[in-house]
Amino acid sequence: MMDLLRRGRFADLGAFDGAALAFAAFRRSAARFRDGEVVTGTLGLDADAFQPAAEAALGSAGTPGDADARDFFEHHFVPAQLAPASGKLGEPGFLTGYYEPEVEASLTPDRRFRYPLYSPPDDLVKVDDVSRPVGLDPSYRFAQRLATGLLGEYPDRAAIEAGYLEGRRLEIAWLDNPVDAFFIHIQGSARLKLPDGRRIRVTYAAKTGQPFTAIGRILVNEGELTLAEADMDGIRGWLAAHPDRVRALLDRNRSFIFFREAPVEDESLGPIAAAKVPLTALGSIAVDREIHTFGTPMLLNAPTLSLEEAPFRRLLIAQDTGSAIVGPARADLFVGSGTAAGTIAGRIRHPAAFTLLLPKRLADRLPS
């Protein structure tokens, strides 16, 4: 897939934001490069080629500013324009946003807190191309271990919400709103504020395997919302206005997420995500993990998106993934934690040009 890349020059990139944040995020991935724990994606960016930059980042003292951080990336990397799934260089990819919700929760159920977040059940197993049973969709990475020892499709959202897992003591915490629980599934993590003032974090652990279905797209396709209205605020507004239709709509997203509990160790950082490092607000993105190598720096240029009162042109690090993030030029920007971050994230749906920063060792493979 290296033919999707076209070599460029830093001199042609012009100004961009976020170099210092990107350096901090890259340094969090550096130990995994050094220790050989990063898997090379199908795009062909060899994880071993990142080791010199990783060693340099780990050996740096202090936190550089934007100018010094840009010098670091220019010294160790070469820019390469990335084509979208069509393979046509110059066509834009697509950028969305996500965040870490903060909601009230309880460790015990009562009349108010009735909607659980679950840890993975013991009959949920990972599958691959070797172990996946005949008839199970090739996209499924999880299945159910049946009493017979055979594998089958795990019950979907509707079955679980109807009580399939009750009595198995899998509940981590209970929320007071099913819509909040649903959006935590979409975002993949949350900070939970407990009645005694403590806070805990839940992060993605597994899923049932069924494909993700965007309820916003359903509402647009069925004429309930316009495309412009179908951001997170618009979807929440529709759900609040149609309480009798909430459960049926949510269940049409058959995918169901399971979580694990984690501490909130650093208020400034997001959850530990798919790349096994904490996310950096406005410094980390989710990408298609089958295609991309986690830890790759990417410059995203979305001129129709304005953040911090400027057109979005920012250096970011690939450190997460998501069910809806499919294709080479597709990314989800981690905006941060809390309600304000959610408002911003829910409105990001913009075309964007993707420029990857490749280790110089890989540059000779690229056409000019």
- pLDDT tens digit sequence for 94-125: 999 999 999 999 999 999 999 999 999 999 99
- The pLDDT score that the predictor gives to residue 264 is 80
d(CA 38, CA 232): 33
Q: Which of 85-94, 240-249, 304-313 has the highest mean pLDDT?
A: 240-249
Q: Which among 8, 3, 1 has a CA at the least distance from the CA of 79?
A: 8
Report CA 249 to chain centroid distance, whole Å.
Answer: 23
Instruction: Find the mean pLDDT for residues 288-309.
Output: 94
Q: Are 285 and 277 in contact (CB under 8 A)?
A: no
Same domain for 304 and 201, yes or no, is: no
- The pLDDT score that the predictor gives to residue 263 is 81
Out of 207, 234, 262, pick the residue that ends a domain. Answer: 262
- The pLDDT score that the predictor gives to residue 368 is 65
Q: Does the pLDDT of residue 169 top 70, yes or no?
A: yes
Same domain for 61 and 208, yes or no, is: no
Q: Which residues pair with 331 in a beta bridge?
A: 95
Same domain for 178 and 252, yes or no, is: yes
The Cα-based distances of 76 to 38, 73, 133, 295, 300 in angstroms read 18, 5, 45, 14, 19
d(CA 231, CA 178): 19
Same domain for 250 and 287, yes or no, is: no
**Tens digit of each residue's pLDDT (9 = 90 or more) over 321-344:** 988 899 999 999 999 999 999 999
Q: Does the pLDDT of residue 89 top 80, yes or no?
A: no
Same domain for 274 and 208, yes or no, is: no
- The pLDDT score that the predictor gives to residue 1 is 67
User: Model-level pTM?
Assistant: 0.89
d(CA 41, CA 174): 37
Same domain for 185 and 67, yes or no, is: no
Return the percentage of the chain with pLDDT > 70, whole number: 99
Same domain for 191 and 287, yes or no, is: no
Phi, psi of 283 (to 5 degrees): -130, -15
Q: Average model confidence (pLDDT) for the chain?
A: 93
d(CA 167, CA 144): 18
**What element of type H or E holds 161?**
helix 157-161
**Tens digit of each residue's pLDDT (9 = 90 or more) over 219-231:** 999 999 999 999 9
Q: Which domain holds residue 198?
A: 101-262
Instruction: Find the mean pLDDT for residues 264-282.
Output: 90
Out of 262, 293, 327, pick the residue that ends a domain. Answer: 262
Q: 3-state class of 123 per DSSP?
A: coil
Q: Are strands 5-7 and 142-145 parallel, antiparallel or unpaired?
A: unpaired
Return the percentage of the chain with pLDDT > 90, whole number: 82
